[in-house]
Amino acid sequence: MAKNLVIVESPAKAKTISKMLGRNYKVVASVGHIRDLPKSRLGIEIDNNFEPDYINIRGKGPLIKQLKKEAKDSERVYLATDPDREGEAISWHLAYLLGLDENEKFRVEFNEITKETVKNSIKNPRALNKDLIDAQQARRVLDRLVGYKISPLLWKKIKKGLSAGRVQSVAVKLICDREAEIDSFIPKEYWTIKAKLEKDNMEFEASFFGELNGSKENKLEIPNEEEANRILNDLDKDDFRVYDVKKGKRNRNPYPPYTTSTLQQDASKKLGFTTKKTMIVAQQLYEGIDLKKDGITGLITYMRTDSTRVSNEAIASAKDFIETTYGKEYSNGGKNYNNKTKKEAQDAHEGIRPSYIKYDPDTIKDYLSKDQAKLYKLIWDRFIGSQMKAAQYDTINAAILSNNYIFKASGSAIVFQGFLKVYSTADEEVAEIMLPALKKADKLRLLQLEDKQNFTKPPARYNEASLIKVMEELGIGRPSTYAPTIITILARGYVVLDKKVFYPTELGLVVNDLLTEYFKHVVNEEFTANLEDNLDQIAAGDVKWKSVVSKFYDDFKVELSIAETEIDKIEVEDEVSDEICEKCGRNMVIKHGRFGKFLACPGYPECKNTKPIIEKIDVPCPLCGGDIVRKRSKKGRIFYGCNNYPSCEYVSWDEPIKDKCPQCNGPMTIKRLKNKTVINCTDKNCGFSRNI
């Protein structure tokens, strides 16, 4: 009989911790929640002060029976579910089922799964944090009220299977609002003039700024071609002189350790990971990787956090590593990034960092999958970079005159890499721009003048990274909700992700219009952010959870009553295609699914025929001359294949193009990488490649 029982959430975590604690402990997994609100009904007694009616989750009966037996056979039980509100609530439900006194000290939490942390946490259990539990209950009840009260209304007024959510509806509104901005945007014309200049056989570029009025520099806009031509004609092509030179220094400060949001954003931009993939891989790194002789080891701290604060031990370890590896001049002496704008309730965990500095990415890459290695390196580099000095640049800003018109040129050169030696930001700020040695009154040779017509651009559509960023800035949702929110709005067909940006579907626009008109509180960004603040106040023990729910419901039930009365039946028409269903002869309609658009027979459920939309790219197949079409894999990744498949088996992940290779006249493809676009010859023996 094991003396001690430890219950965690996941089997992988159980396996890791079991090896650390030894034979006196038995570690088992609850596999997530074991009690929840019922799916078949509201499960909240509104008239009884919003009392939730929890039930055992269907299918968890045998597991609950096993947990009860294990607890009965053990001298002591420890509940070690995840260190957040959700984990606290799971421990509370476990305590109820196992008959534990919730005032006793049996709750342990691991911010990182290392032998030292696990053993220290087991030695120092605490009582359940009722305030954290209440904050989770409030979130669960609020989400249930919104979902189970609005969803039936959507079924009745629009179509079955729709849902509304407290956070997901705001996310959809953000995407719909951005689309409306783009639709109503009116481009404004403007012109730019650039001068290509030379001094000491070194070419550089200067951009038109304005005119010199006495000693004052006036910035000028160039609204049209007529004004651009007037300025070009006024310039003295033979007299471009340096009017002013300012030399200086600039520091580029390192970034703080990752939070959930910044990790998801960076993984999206740098690795092309979806938010879901980022969290799955991060969970694997947190719960433990088998490092063979070192055993199963948790490699990063807990990945759901709003905090950038890290432990003093981690800072000291990083300082030692940096001074030994790069030299003392690269260490910033050890810096902690306190969350100045965050509430204490959100600062319970450290930022995301490696658990052990000694496991640098190169040392352990052979034990990690490709995706694990990429994400671990991102986290490791970011944390080490946060403990290094700022990058230093020499800067030069020159003002150049020609007939009283001002052109400006800027240059910068890195004189000390600092944190950039480890953490690559891969942006334009890092790029060096070299200028010749310039001093006042230097005469420059004009090589070329280039004027260009431009138009202002509408705001960009959201991608996963920018949507998470704006949600965080507005205070909508929390670290644990970003990824599930995006998954939900895609699954419901309210938005689609095409070429990595979000577009609202017709259905999404209709649902958003209805919610915006009749449920202003639910989709109001500021109201939702205030509600999140209320949840933090509950977690801090400052507010009672039922009072927050009651206040919300008072307004919500009024909106619900008006909507029930006023909303007429809304028909969302599917777009009819020219494609004929080969099974029943009807014109197929365009539907939106998880991976974008597809064709479906409108005769469903009598006829269940579906097929992908064939999207030709106007490039002949290099094998048979047929049409190349854009397709999607089962995981939603775009690839290119011949329309004559299976008789022709041509397939390519990279997009084929019409141009032939200048070296071998063979077919070529275009590959879009994070920071560049490359054209490659498909013949490996040729090897031709060039950047665009």
Residue 206 CA to residue 195 CA, distance in Å, equals 5
Closest CA to 377 of 389, 364, 390: 364
Alpha carbon of residue 613 to chain centroid? 28
Q: Name beta bridge partners: 248.
A: 395
DSSP for residue 433: B
Q: Max alpha carbon distance in the chain (Å)?
A: 95
Alpha carbon of residue 620 to chain centroid? 37
Closest CA to 44 of 118, 143, 181, 120: 143
How would you list the strands of the sheet with 4-8, edge to edge? Answer: 25-29, 4-8, 76-79
Q: Name beta bridge partners: 405.
A: 211, 402
Backbone angles phi, psi at 356, to 5 degrees: -130, 120
Residue 333 CA to residue 310 CA, distance in Å, equals 14
Candidate list 302, 359, 503, 553, residue with the active-site label:
302
Q: How many other β-carbons are positioned within 10 Å of the β-carbon of residue 157?
A: 19
For the chain, the first-to-last Cα distance in angstroms comes to 68
- Whether residue 487 contacts residue 477, with contact meaning beta carbons closer than 8 Å, is answered with no
DSSP for residue 367: G
Closest CA to 272 of 652, 681, 653, 637: 637
CA Rg value for the chain? 30
Residue 276, CB-side half-sphere exposure with 13 Å CA sphere: 9
Alpha carbon of residue 180 to chain centroid? 23
- Residue type at 626 in one-letter notation: G
Closest CA to 452 of 97, 91, 208: 208
Closest CA to 241 of 287, 206, 275, 281: 206
641-645 LR contacts (CB < 8 Å, sep 24+):
643/614, 643/616
Residue 675 CA to residue 102 CA, distance in Å, equals 54
Residues in the chain, total: 692
Q: Name beta bridge partners: 297.
A: 289
Residue 116 CA to residue 96 CA, distance in Å, equals 30
Residue 116 CA to residue 6 CA, distance in Å, equals 16
Note if 494 is an active site residue: no
How would you list the strands of the sheet with 677-681, edge to edge? Answer: 655-660, 667-672, 677-681, 689-691
The two tokens of residue 304 are 């759901």
Residue 227 CA to residue 223 CA, distance in Å, equals 7
Residue 182, CB-side half-sphere exposure with 13 Å CA sphere: 13
- Whether residue 301 contacts residue 286, with contact meaning beta carbons closer than 8 Å, is answered with yes
Interhelix angle 370-386/275-287, nearest 10 degrees = 80
- Burial class, 312, CB count within 10 angstroms (exposed 0-12 / middle 13-18 / buried 19+): exposed
Interhelix angle 275-287/482-491, nearest 10 degrees = 140
**b/e burial code for range 29-46 (CB count within 10 A of at least 16 → b):** bbeebbbbbeeeebbbee
What is the three-class DSSP state of 577? strand
Catalytic residues: 302
